[in-house]
Amino acid sequence: MKITRRQLRKLITETLLEYRIKPTTGDMSMDDALQAIAGSGPEYSAQASELAASLGYDTYLTDVDEYQLVPNMKILSYMSDTQVDNLMNIKGKSISMVLQYDIAGVVITGQEGWAPGLNPDELIALELQIANKEEGGYPADEYGRVHPPGAAWSAWGDILMDRTSIHPSDELHIAIIKLSASTEMSEETAGSLDFYHNVEGPLLPFYQELVDQGKLIITD
């Protein structure tokens, strides 16, 4: 039986999820210290990398990032090869998520225009594509947001109740942020992307964790 590239990608991702092993320097306290240093901000990542290299594991932080990223990469099986290439194009780069008419797109720092395949229209279309292919999920709206029982949004897209589950759109946003060296956005953009509990509540825990790691930077 011939297997398609999409089926092969899904098989590889599921295998990684089942058998992945967390990287370690061999000293758990040192692992924690390195991750704490790197999570203090982008300016400390080089210092943590140099320390890891002195221990004989110069790719430690990169390997940890990839280990943490794998759970979110199941979405790759819902994407075309070109879409995957566009997503991987931002790996290790500093990026910003910028609003255009209340829809966010990705800009790579130091480059003009939108990142290939990740302009606002393309990004929201990708969110909806992923949402429609999620197994066992609830129907998604035009913004890629799933409406579980009891969930509701206002006519302006504001969340009217707390939520703690990760929606298909969150899976894509988290993958983008984890792939990047760092992702910067305004509070307005984060609000538009539903990163908060309700309209004025705190960041959802899975986004707060990215802030604590220095991967997500939200400006005033």
According to the model, what pLDDT value does residue 35 have? 79
Look at residues 78, 101, 132 and tell me which one is the last residue of a structural domain: 78
Q: Are residues 95 and 74 in the same domain?
A: no
83 in a domain, yes or no? Answer: no
For residue 84, being part of any structural domain is answered with no
One domain for residues 184 and 112: yes
Domain shared by 135 and 45, yes or no? no
74 shares its domain with 111 = no
Of the residues 15, 44, 78, the one at which a domain ends: 78
194 within some domain: yes
Looking at the structure of the chain, the number of domains it has is 2
Are 7 and 35 within one domain? yes
Hey, how many other C-beta atoms are within 10 angstroms of the C-beta on 175?
A: 20
Q: What is the predicted pLDDT for the residue at 217?
A: 95
pLDDT band (50, 70, 90) for residue 45: confident
Q: What is the pTM assigned to this prediction?
A: 0.64
Secondary structure of the chain: what % helix, strand, coil (to 5)? 50, 15, 40
Ranges 31-45, 155-169, 189-203, 206-220: which has the least confidence: 155-169
- 87 and 179 Cβ atoms separated by less than 8 Å: yes
Output the pLDDT for position 118.
Answer: 95
pLDDT at 41: 64
**pLDDT confidence of 108, banded at 50, 70, 90?**
very high
Domain assignment of residue 218, given as a range: 89-220
Q: Where are the alpha helices (DSSP H) in the chain?
A: 5-19, 28-38, 42-54, 60-69, 81-88, 120-133, 168-179, 187-192, 205-212
